[in-house]
Amino acid sequence: MEASDRIWIIGCDWWPRAYLRAELIERGHDAVGFITIRDAVITLTLGRARPPALLVCDLHGQALDRALARGLFQAGAPIIAIAGNVEADDGWIRGLPWAAFLRRPITIGAVADLVGRLTLPAAPSPGETADTPRG
């Protein structure tokens, strides 16, 4: 993924969402925030924003049902879930195809590190250098 690819952050708590966005921007990512999963799914459905290359979804305070989950995963991007005890104990939520499922307490830095690992650019093929044009 290139630094210009967009990371979507979903979380109803302003401060953690703002801190993570600031940290990701500091690390060279293009990050935007959404308050609810519904907001993000509506934006995906209407095509009003550049689609995400990766999503970070704080499940605390979110009304996640099957329809919203389906809409969220239809983005085709990896999704990192951040869960408290209630969400982590829900087998249905835990069983969704998350790229990573993190439990609180967790630091903003740890989440940003994981975003960095999941968004590393693809390594060149054998015999290919970083200067070799692709495709």
Mean pLDDT of 14-26: 97
Give the model confidence (pLDDT) of 35-91 as tens digits: 999 999 999 999 878 899 999 999 999 999 999 999 999 999 999 999 999 999 999
Look over the chain and give the mean of its residue pLDDT values, rounded to a whole number.
Answer: 89
| pLDDT given for residue 133 in this prediction | 47
| Tokens (6 digits) for 44 | 């995906």
What's the predicted TM-score (pTM) here?
A: 0.86
